[in-house]
A and B are shown apart, each in its own frame.
Chain A
Amino acid sequence: MSPTTTATEIAAAVRGGEQSAREVVEGYLSTIADREHEVHAFNLVLEEEALAAADAIDRRAADGEDPGPLAGVPVAIKDNLCTREVPTTCSSRILDGWKPPYDATVVERIAAAGGVILGKTNLDEFAMGSSTENSAFGPTKNPLDASRVPGGSSGGSAAAVAAGFAPLALGSDTGGSIRQPAAFCGVVGVKPTYGMVSRYGLVAFASSLDQVGLLGANVADAALLQEVIQGHDPMDSTSIPDSPPGLCERLAEGVEGVRVGVVRELVEEANSDVAGRLREAAAALGDAGAKVDEVSIRALAYGVSAYYLIAPAECSSNLARYDGVRYGLRLPGADITSTYGATRAQGFGPEVKRRIMLGTYALSAGYYDAYYGQAQRVRTLIIRDFEAAYEDFDVLLSPTAPSTAFRFGAKTEDPLSMYLSDVCTIPSNLAGDPAMSVPYGSGDDGLPVGVQIMAPALGEILMYRVAAALEASHG
């Protein structure tokens, strides 16, 4: 099994009976066995379950059934997505021993499409962080340079794809948690439109910003997985009723006449080498027939500030349930209040505690309007400014992150500098719009640079077409 084989090729081969799902899975398991000890992409590899699932797919194929569009394709699952009877940890001590009694909707859909769940990938605790350094189980290493972070919070998923452990992975993106690690690891990462992919079974961090998305080695593979997981889910009230069909078929339609806006404020945030690659990417799109121009979106400057009020506020409420009463860690105290205190003090890491405290404060009586209320008004401004920009442009272009993958420890002592590494990705979460990161060359340090393509809500097809054009131009 060559790690350069794409998901699209695997599915075609398994559906066509040219390759067994077992062979595919065994190939990836062997790559994992070789290198996982130096990468630590996974919290758990589901070797037996994956082989059993592969055998079931092979039996269906032998019986003449079509196992589905993901036939035999291994998929790594971020460990904040529920998997039935399989530990789901969110890389936190507080969920110690907990096994969900149900599968997330996206996990169900992957299995129903013939995909094979390969394992649960590492993340910053409860998806709060940009480097996986906040995992209770130790960080994931960037497979391209072990001294660098893989990005976060979906660092385990990005590293798994980059290391060839899995052709595809699921992640979640609240402020850039798919796109930034995708950029750092040199893979494709997609945050779909808010509501396009069900959140049922995604352990909530900040519900109004959280979006399940995906990572893959190339644009076509990403489109393949998005088509499988998107679409209305009656279990998620914020799920969009219908999704635009035909994503995979339309990838190659090109960008002739597409209006591309390069967002000045976000380019200015980037290091010069990253900004340089971005300009080259813009020029390449121009060569391919797109109309490229610069655009200024001033409200984006306030994105990080608004985000770090809204996200912690929702997190403080979403994480209240980890109280030692029903599941996970429990440190019994003399009474219920001390049980809560001891359990949460021991169970949560420092970054999670910091955000719970920030959010609790932001929602407190007397402060609500100045903090949470004000942040929501800024959010509305950002949505309006995006809408105005989309009157003149079909998609927007920016760096995915201001820099390439940074070194371990570089930002752990300064939470604010860590927060600012999400400056380019946060606005799309605030607006609920789709955005994706595509690798485009490398920085002065030789590490990959990611280009971010943003589109208006439900603008996935055009966004993927631009990504495919960028990928093609890069050879």
Chain B
Amino acid sequence: MAESPASWETVVGLEVHCELRTETKLFCGCRNAFGEEPNTNVCPVCLGLPGSLPVLNRRAVELAMAIGEALHCEIRPSLFHRKNYFYPDMPKDYQVSQYDEPINVDGWLELPDGTRIGIVRAHMEEDTGKSTHMGGGGRIHDAAYSLVDYNRAGVPLVEIVSHPELRSGEQARQYVSELRAILVATGASDGKMEEGSLRVDANVSVRPAGSDAYGTRCEVKNLNSLRSLGRAIEHEAIRQARVWEAGDVVKQETRHWDEANDRTVAGRSKEEANDYRYFPEPDLLPLAPSEEWLARVRSSLPPMPAARRARLAELAGTEPREVATVVDLQLDHLVLAAADAGADANLAVRRVTNEVAADPVRARQLDAADFAKLVLLEAKGALTPTQAKQVLAEMLDGGGDPEAIARDRGFEAMDLGALTTVLDQAIAAHPDEWERLRDGDQKLMGFFVGQVMKATRGQADGRAVSALLRQRGR
């Protein structure tokens, strides 16, 4: 990935739109579903037909409060406003959204490395329909005609706005990745960026390294994946740095990420010249969740990724970022089961991160008690690391008791006496090599371990062989 010139600092604030995973839409009983025949999940309310009125979805409010809680926000009484502008995919030609009194304000999100990014607000609003512009490069103004699908109109959204505290495309990626994990954990989102469940706009500016002032920002849209998010920010930062270095001025504007050509392109400035004429939505009552309701939402929240990382890291005696994969893949239960069984949590984290995580689909079917037993067997030396990995692979493949699998494979750890016998035979067979090892040629440690492994067809514990060799060599 391209780097912005070292003399410039990148400043990024993100706006993330999260479609809430409710059964029905925000203001009507239509199903909230993706990928169905166009204009089949519609009714008078979400089509904005004359005379229709909105009724707020209780579940959407609960999920919005859950997001606020997970992002350490203050959850407040709130109001819906109308944001007025004309666009064909917006059935009422206004969007019902929260404006100056949003439900969640002043929170933060902790990245896996411990950095806290401030959250300005996380407010509720309704989604628009989806336009497809036919001909003319896919933009409305050049299109021959346009098709509109209103299935998405009225789907509940929460828009999460960060402070401009991110400093690179990579950090922005980490932020969205962490946010996605939080949203999935709360049950608010399915996290599918590719289906538009999570949509990101990035406000990007650059400033001379060491400066505290903010440069003119551009809003970059059309970021459909973590990859395009990171790349778009890096490229936009470079573009802006070059504009400043050429003695020009960066214009505040909306830009679109052009994935195919690795660049951002300016949107039409006319599209931005909007006065939204916000005013309180008279068809909805002010929203003031009771303390009891909020308490119920709070108590039903599962632990968030940062807390889960902290717990696993403490158990394993490591840094939170070392357990990030376990948490990302929702495999905490395996490590916790191993720790509960008295096995080495650090070893469990390594087995999950290195072996189990390679197969995330099967990983979810892995029985936690069996996994704990496996880690115990390895930790007490009954299985060598190599054997443990083979048994684990078979457990992932079809499941089963690790002891039984080890027995079937003849993986019985050799006792020290048997191992000594095999080692003695190896030394007797290779007197010259033994002499050189005793003279200090450490390369020959590996040779003798290999000989023992060969003779035992891999059943010997390599570490035990090394220990025996060192004892003998003294």
Contact = CB atoms under 8 A, between A and B. Distances in A.
Interface of A: 81-82, 88, 90, 95, 98, 100-102, 104, 199-204, 206-208, 234-238, 313-314, 316-317, 320-321, 323, 325-327, 335-337, 340, 360, 363-365, 368, 372
A153 to B, nearest CB: 16
B185 to A, nearest CB: 31
Given A203-B51, A321-B93, A364-B275, A237 B283 contact: yes
B141 A335 contact: yes
9 contacts: A102-B49, A204-B50, A207-B282, A236-B53, A237-B56, A317-B84, A323-B93, A336-B146, A364-B275
Contact of B91 (A234, A317, A326, A336): A326
Given A207-B282, A237-B283, A335-B141, A363 B277 contact: yes
A365 B91 CA distance: 23
B283 A207 contact: yes
Given A234-B55, A335-B141, A100 B50 contact: yes
B8 interface: no
Contacts of B48: 321, 326
Contacts of A202: 51
A207 B84 CA distance: 15
Nearest to A313: B279
Interface in B275-295: 275, 277-279, 282-285
A237 B279 contact: no
Contacts of A326: 47-48, 91
B84 A363 contact: yes
A98 B88 CA distance: 18
B140 interface: yes
A88 B55 contact: no
Given A100-B44, A102-B44, A323 B86 contact: yes
Contact of B86 (A95, A199, A340): A340
Contacts of A337: 86
Given A88-B50, A203-B50, A235 B55 contact: yes
Contacts, number: 99
B52 interface: yes
- Smallest CB-CB A-B distances: 7 pairs: A320-B93, A363-B277, A208-B282, A207-B282, A203-B50, A201-B51, A82-B51
Contacts of B55: 234-237
A363 B51 contact: no
Contact of A321 (B53, B92, B278, B282): B92
Given A200-B52, A321-B50, A326-B47, 13 more contacts: A100-B49, A102-B44, A313-B279, A317-B82, A317-B84, A317-B279, A321-B92, A323-B88, A326-B48, A335-B141, A336-B88, A336-B146, A365-B275
A320 B277 CA distance: 12
A340 B85 CA distance: 12
A145 B290 CA distance: 57
B167 to A, nearest CB: 33
Contacts of B140: 336
A158 to B, nearest CB: 21
A101 B42 CA distance: 12
A23 B44 CA distance: 36
A104 B156 CA distance: 25
